[in-house]
Amino acid sequence: MRIKTAQAERLARNKKSLEHKNVKAFLLAIAEAEGGGYDFKYGAIKGKKNDPWRFTDFSTHPGAGYGGSTTASGMYQITKDTWKDHGTNAMGLTDFSPETQDLIAVDMLDSMGALDKIKDGDVPGAMPMASRKWAALPQGPGLANRYNQPYMKYEKFIEYYKGFGGETK
């Protein structure tokens, strides 16, 4: 019974955090960097019609995308293991709906210590943590990402973040 109570409390806390304008803006900026949509599997392309790497069943995590090498899916490229850890185990969520994806991303930011920094408008302080989970994010102002792949420059990230209503210190 304690587990269900802890899950409900964590879910409620994350729902409240999701209402914060800086958190919403940060999530939308992550989505721009990652190039995702709520219905994207790894390999989906924005604007492509009849894309085989899009899914319509949000009842569970959709599994592997292009090439079968990763299960990164959805708006924030959430892997199946991350969905289980942060969605099912942490908050009792069993679907992969847009709301669930948002809540998982909030939970990830909270667990890495970035959420309060984001709420406070300390984007440079949050980026080193967030860039560990989201490969398309830079580590901070003037810094590259952590992985050998394309990434969004910090200045562009801030432009999106502010455009989505986020405020900085």
pLDDT tens per residue, range 16-72: 999 999 999 999 999 999 988 999 999 898 888 889 999 999 999 999 999 988 999
110 and 123 in contact (C-beta within 8 Å)? no
CB 157 within 8 A of CB 149: no
pLDDT of residue 169: 87
Instruction: Tell whether 168 is covered by a domain.
Output: no
Digit-coded pLDDT (tens) for 116-151: 999 999 999 999 999 999 999 999 999 999 999 999
Would residue 156 count as lying in a domain? Answer: yes
SS3 content of the chain, % helix, strand, coil (to 5): 50, 5, 45
Q: Are 83 and 67 in contact (CB under 8 A)?
A: no
Domain assignment present for residue 83? The answer is yes
Query: Residue 8: inside a domain, yes or no?
Result: yes
pLDDT score at 46: 85
* CA 48, chain centre distance (Å): 22
Residue 77 in any domain: the answer is: yes
Is pLDDT of 3 > 80?
no
Residue 23's domain comprises 2-163
Label residue 1 by pLDDT band (50, 70, 90): low
- Is position 122 within any domain? yes
Listed in sequence order, the residues at least 6 apart from 129 whose beta carbon sits closer than 8 Å to its beta carbon are: 109, 112, 113, 114, 117
Beta strands in 69-154 (DSSP E): none
pLDDT range class, residue 166, cuts 50, 70, 90 = very high
- Tell me what pLDDT residue 136 has: 96
Contact 156, 141 (CB under 8 A): no
Cα 114–Cα 60–Cα 8 angle in degrees, nearest 5 = 50
Q: How many domains does the chain have?
A: 1
User: Per the domain annotation, does 107 fall within a domain?
Assistant: yes
